[in-house]
Amino acid sequence: MANSVQASAARSPAASSAQQVEPAAASRAPAAIRWLTIASAALLLVELYLIFIHAPVEQQMGIVQKIFYFHVPSAYGMYIGFGMAALASGMYLAKRDDKWDAWAVAGAEVGSIFCLIILVTGPLWGRKAWGTYWTWDPRLTTTLLAGMVYFAYIVLRSFGSTGEVEKRFAAGLAIFGVLDMPIIHYSVQRWRGTHPTVITGKGGGLHPDMYPALFVGFALFTLVGVLLMWQRARVERLRQRTLALEIEAAERGLLEES
Partner 1 sequence: MLRRFALWVALAWFCAAGAVVTADMASAQDGQAPTTASGTADDRAASFQAVSGGTKEDVAGGPLMLLAYAAVWIIVFGYVYRINRLQRGVEANLERLESSIARQGSSV
The residue ranges that bind partner 1 (CB under 8 A) are 14-15, 18-19, 21, 23-24, 26-27, 56-68, 70-71, 74, 109-110, 113, 116-117, 120-121, 124-125, 127-133, 194-198, 202-207, 209-210, 224, 228, 231-232, 235, 238-239, 242, 245-246, 249, 254-255, 257-258
CB of 61 to partner 1, least distance (A): 4
Task: Compare residues 88 and 210 and give the one whose CB is closer to partner 1.
Answer: 210
CB of 157 to partner 1, least distance (A): 13
**E strand or H helix at 23:** helix 23-26
CB of 16 to partner 1, least distance (A): 9
CB of 176 to partner 1, least distance (A): 24
Task: Compare residues 50 and 228 and give the one whose CB is closer to partner 1.
Answer: 228
Q: How many residues does the chain have?
A: 258
Task: Compare residues 33 and 93 and give the one whose CB is closer to partner 1.
Answer: 33
Task: Compare residues 144 and 175 and give the one whose CB is closer to partner 1.
Answer: 144
- Contact at 8 Å (CB) between 153 and 109? no
- Contact at 8 Å (CB) between 55 and 213? yes
- Contact at 8 Å (CB) between 147 and 119? yes
CA distance 119 to 198: 19
Task: Compare residues 6 and 121 and give the one whose CB is closer to partner 1.
Answer: 121
Burial string for 164-186 (b: 16+ CB within 10 Å, else e) reads eeebbebbebbbebbebbebbee
- Contact at 8 Å (CB) between 107 and 154? no
If we measure between CA atoms, which residue out of 115, 102, 107 comes closest to residue 82? 107
CB of 142 to partner 1, least distance (A): 17
